[in-house]
A and B are shown apart, each in its own frame.
Chain A
């Protein structure tokens, strides 16, 4: 029997006093690919930040465990060390901190340090896979990067850190078709029994590459319906309205 990596139950969270998540239930098993869809403002990114432990997002109820450990009392760094990874929608630039130094600090913090030569070889291989120029090694992390470069850099970190579960927060937004394929291929290469993915998106396009096991629709801070890959196709064809209409009717 496969164990749940991430288990969320009745999760409520608020940002600046405003409740955004209103009882999210979600379970992702070891190695599975889940998609979380929903229109703008449904709370998708809030869920991502809340799970990662951003101090601005305050949990007001419910629970979230990761590999059986209660996530909620932990700071973001402790959550990352458990094996949770957030692919940021808007990665932050840190001038003065080179990509190499940044990755080494992260690997060291996670107890995944490796000899310098092995590190550089792996970095080189992963950068080639993601079509990232060698010069980015010594560039300051995300500083002056284009939108696409930032997203590829997020996947590079994912590839180097190999978490148990990666949350991709609208990683597809702002990418052209080729960049989207590179990023999606990168994720697919990493997915497997050791790494599951929770893809947050409001476009079904990326799901054509990622083939999710489960698709969930978030609306007004709750998961209103879940299904297989065909649910994403239905959304592609008909939009959210029919689903949300049904959900609204069901709640009523």
Chain B
């Protein structure tokens, strides 16, 4: 199960752990970690009463200091995640985000192409300039949770694709967690140099069940001039997990991002899907699906920041909530004065499957440039009774008709995902959820 580090006594999140983390880091990173810890201590916990950004997401029951950082990986969870890789992208390299140094599996092809796939910790020592450049996309003290991540992360996964190299196989990154009252700081940093391309699958999972875990995650994606990045992520935490994550992409001139996010797990999640369209002519297509049930709470915040001229972005998030699950969505298209001829659209569609389920959606536009094309749309509704009747009139029983409609609602997104293996995995996980199973957590064999 868990592989403990012999010389690392378990201590809850606090000054002692922060100091140890800084101690074990190269000087530049140690300095960064110390600033981060101070910032974490100085910034109050976000409050649904005080902070507009957190008004609809209450984390008053989350106490980070009660969690102890994991010191190993749950091998059963890793096996379940590897099995997903095997079915969805068998050729993909498999990188495990672990506090214990873990070899990358199946990376020979990528290494032969000169692509770096390693732990972020290793990269911080061996390729400090690359890591520093990537981390510069996120200010250490931007928020309480970003500061905490900066102070605490270990392991992590770092990918660098050199100029002009088109990665022949995807990289599948597994962020596993297990145990009870444990904290994880999943980290993904991907840097694509000019004219390169890569497909990434970034997966978060813990065992099915209510074990309390706290995940404070960071994803930094940097795509250089003319680079193309396909980024797919699936969040499959168990239903006792608090998940906070910033997933930020910075695009240079003519770089293209295709982002697909699948949200199924966690007790409560708040994630930021952010794209900075920095370079002229850069483009981003951001897709997402989310299915929740029970008392799950999902909060997606998206940002499409148009900085460069002639930039284009399109975001579509579809959410289905059942039982007493709740979805909160806030989407912002921000167009800087420099972003002339920007073209941006943001849409959030919600399907409410029970009377007690709820979805709030607040798309916003902030336009400070002339001659732009921007729009937003948000809808929420129940299953259409005419659609259900039409299916039933062909002999399909009512429950199956509803399932088909929900799946169809999501397939409208899944059908646009370039990586078909990932889309099929997402579809299969979704089917299990719709059928009443849980997409929260992976069925990991004990032992």
Chain A positions within 8 Å of B, measured between CB atoms, are: 52-55, 75-77, 79-81, 85-86, 88, 91-98, 101-102, 105-106, 109-110, 140, 157, 161
Contacts and interface: CB of A to CB of B under 8 A. Distances in A.
Contact of A95 (B392, B398, B408): B408
A105 B385 contact: no
Contacts of B391: 94, 102, 105-106
B387 A94 contact: yes
A153 to B, nearest CB: 11
A106 B395 contact: yes
A150 B397 CA distance: 23
Nearest to B399: A77
B43 to A, nearest CB: 42
Contacts of A157: 394
A93 to B, nearest CB: 8
Nearest to B394: A106
B54 interface: no
Nearest to A112: B395
Interface in B379-421: 384-387, 389-398, 400-401, 404-405, 407-412, 415
A136 to B, nearest CB: 15
A95 B394 contact: no
Nearest to B410: A96
The contact size tier of chain B is: 20 to 34
B396 A109 contact: yes
A140 B412 CA distance: 9
A105 B396 contact: yes
A55 B395 contact: no
A95 B409 contact: yes
Contacts of B398: 75, 77
A54 B390 contact: no
B387 A109 contact: no
Contacts of B385: 55
Given A95-B412, A96-B409, A96-B411, A80 B393 contact: yes
A49 to B, nearest CB: 9
B381 to A, nearest CB: 13
Interface of B: 384-387, 389-398, 400-401, 404-405, 407-412, 415
Contacts of A52: 393
Given A95-B408, A140-B408, A80 B390 contact: no
Contacts of A92: 384, 386-387, 389-390
Contact of A91 (B390, B392, B405): B390
Given A75-B398, A96-B409, 8 more contacts: A76-B393, A79-B393, A80-B392, A88-B393, A92-B386, A97-B411, A105-B394, A110-B395
B185 to A, nearest CB: 36
Contact of B389 (A54, A96, A105): A54
Nearest to A83: B395
Nearest to A98: B411
A55 B390 CA distance: 12
Nearest to B386: A92
Contact of A76 (B389, B408, B411, B412): B389
A85 B398 CA distance: 17
B4 to A, nearest CB: 46
B408 A161 contact: no
B408 A77 contact: no
A94 B397 contact: no
A109 B394 contact: yes
A80 B395 contact: yes
A209 B404 CA distance: 36
A71 to B, nearest CB: 13
B393 A97 contact: no
Nearest to A88: B390
A107 to B, nearest CB: 8
> Which 10 A-B residue pairings sit nearest by Cβ, starting from the closest?
A96-B408, A80-B395, A97-B408, A106-B394, A96-B411, A76-B392, A109-B395, A92-B390, A96-B412, A77-B392
23 contacts: A53-B392, A75-B398, A76-B392, A77-B393, A77-B394, A77-B396, A80-B393, A86-B393, A92-B387, A92-B389, A95-B409, A95-B412, A96-B409, A96-B410, A97-B408, A102-B404, A105-B394, A105-B396, A106-B394, A106-B395, A106-B396, A140-B408, A161-B395
Contacts of B396: 77, 105-106, 109
A129 B368 CA distance: 56
Contacts of A76: 389, 392-393
A158 to B, nearest CB: 10
Nearest to A82: B395
B408 A94 contact: yes
Nearest to B408: A96
Contacts of A55: 385, 389
A96 B351 CA distance: 14
A201 B395 CA distance: 25
Contacts of A140: 408, 412
B395 A96 contact: no
A94 B412 CA distance: 10
B442 to A, nearest CB: 26
A106 to B, nearest CB: 4
Nearest to B415: A96
B203 to A, nearest CB: 24
A59 B425 CA distance: 45
Contacts of A80: 392-395
B395 A81 contact: yes
